[in-house]
Structure 1
Amino acid sequence: MKRTLAVVSAGLRHPSSTRMLADRLTEVTRRELEGQGAQVDIDIMEVRDHGHDMVGYLTSGFPSDGLRQAFETVAKADGLIAVTPAFTASYSGLFKMFFDCLDDTALVGKPVLIAATGGTGRHSLVLEHALRPMFAYLRAVVVPTSVFAATEEWGGGSDSPGTLLPRIARAAGEFADEIRRRESPDISNPYSNPVPFAQLLDGR
C-alpha cells in the first residue's frame, strides 16, 4: 500500500534545528511504515518559502499556485508531521499563519505528529499548551507522544533514557500505527465535474 507523509517545517534559517528534527521524525516514520509493508512518499514544505504568499492570501483571499499546492499536499496526505520553533512560549507566527490559511476541514481525522525546538527545555510545554489544542480544534488525531528538542540535546546518544532519539522513535511508532489503521484520504476536486454554464442559466 502506498502512503504519503506531509511534513511542515517552520524553521527560519537554513540549516535549522527545526528542519533537522523534522527530518529525523520523517526518516524514522518512513522506516516504521516500510516495515509494515507500505511504500512511502514524502512531501516536505518549508513554511518560510510561502511567507509572502500567505500574507497575500490572508489579505486578498486568493492563494498563489504554490500555496494552493502546499494546502492540497497536506489535505491528501495520510499523515502530517508539524514542527515549529518555540518563540515567546508559543509556536512561531509563520507556523500559525500556515494553519490559519489551511482549510479548516483539511485535517479532520488525519494523524498528526507534533514537535518543536527551542534553546532550552523550559519551552517544552509549548507542545501541550499551544500545538496540541490548535490541532485538536482542527479535529486532527494527534498522537500521544510529542517531541521537543532543546539545543543541548542534539549531541546526546540513544542509549540512555530521556535523550532525544528514544522519544523520536516512540512518537514515530505511534504515528505510523495511526496511519496504518486508516484508509488514505479521498479528497474530491470541486472543479473536476463542473455544472455546464447553460444549465446554470436554465430557469428550471
Structure 2
Amino acid sequence: MKIIGISGSIVGSKTRTAMTYTLELARKKYPDAEIELLDLADYELVFSDGRNYSDYEGDTKTVTEAIMAADAIIIGTPTFQASIPATLKNIFDLLPVDAFRDKVVSILVTAGTPKHYLMAEQQLKPILAYMKAHIVPLYVFIEEKDFHRKEIVNDDVLFRLERLVEDTVRYVDAFAGIRAAKDAEYDF
C-alpha cells in the first residue's frame, strides 16, 4: 500500500507539523506501507496550463506522478481566506479529472479559528468528489489553540489523527475488496 501525505501550502508550519505527526503514526502502525510526505513548500511547481500531468517536467512531474501512483492520499491544508490555498488548488488543476478514481483520500485542516470548520465540506470535498475520490467522511480540524511551539498539544486532536490514519487504511482495504469482487464477475 502506498500512502502519500500532502502538506498543501508553501507557508506556515502548522499543517506540516500535523502532517509529519500523522505520517509518523502511519509508519508505526503500518510498517509495511510505503509512506511519503509531499510538502509543497519543498518543490518548485509550475502553474497548470492544461497539459497531461505526465508531460510536465521537474518537480511538477515528480509530485503529480507520486500522487497518481498512490493508493491513499492524506491531504493536509491550512485555511486561507475561508478556502484552500492556491498551491493546493494548483495540484488539483495539474491532475486529470479522474485522478482520484480508486484512491482513498482523507483530510486534515488547520485554521486560526473555529469559524472555518466547514471549509473542508464546502470547498475541498466537492473538488475531491468531482475527481472521483473515495473520501474518508470524518476529517480532522485543528485550531491555532491546539498547537504550542510547533507541537500538537491537544490529546483529542492526537486521538483523531490516529483514527484518521486507521480509517484511511481500512477504506483502502475495503475498496480493494470491492474492486476484487467486481473484477471476479468477469470471465476475462
Normalised by the size of structure 2, how large is the TM-score? 0.81
CA–CA distance in 1 between the matches of 2:134 and 2:95?
16
User: Which residue of 9, 24, 28 maps to 1:27?
Assistant: 24
* Change in 2 beyond 3 A, CA 1:59/1:49: farther
Whether the aligned pair in 2 keeps the contact of 1:145 and 1:170 (CA below 8 Å) is no
Summarize the alignment of residues 177-196 of structure 1 with structure 2, pairs less than 5 Å apart: 177-183=170-176
After superposing on structure 2, the runs of 4+ consecutive aligned residues of structure 1 that deviate more than 4 Å are 59-62
**Amino-acid identity (%):** 25
CA RMSD of aligned residues (A): 2.2
Larger Cα-atom Rg: 1
Q: Tell me the residue number matched to 2:14.
A: 17
- Classify the secondary structure of the residue corresponding to 1:58: coil
Deviations 1:22-50 (A, max 9, x none): 1122222333334xxxx121221122344
Normalised by the size of structure 1, how large is the TM-score? 0.75
* Change in 2 beyond 3 A, CA 1:169/1:59: closer
Whether the aligned pair in 2 keeps the contact of 1:144 and 1:171 (CA below 8 Å) is no
User: Which residue of 18, 38, 55 maps to 1:45?
Assistant: 38
For structure 2, the 5+ residue unaligned runs are 177-188
Summarize the alignment of residues 58-97 of structure 1 with structure 2, pairs less than 5 Å apart: 58=49, 62-97=55-90
Whether the aligned pair in 1 keeps the contact of 2:7 and 2:37 (CA below 8 Å) is yes
Give the count of matched residue pairs. 171
Q: Tell me the residue number matched to 2:125.
A: 132
Whether the aligned pair in 2 keeps the contact of 1:11 and 1:48 (CA below 8 Å) is yes
For structure 1, the 5+ residue unaligned runs are 184-204
- Classify the secondary structure of the residue corresponding to 1:107: coil
CA–CA distance in 2 between the matches of 1:108 and 1:27?
26
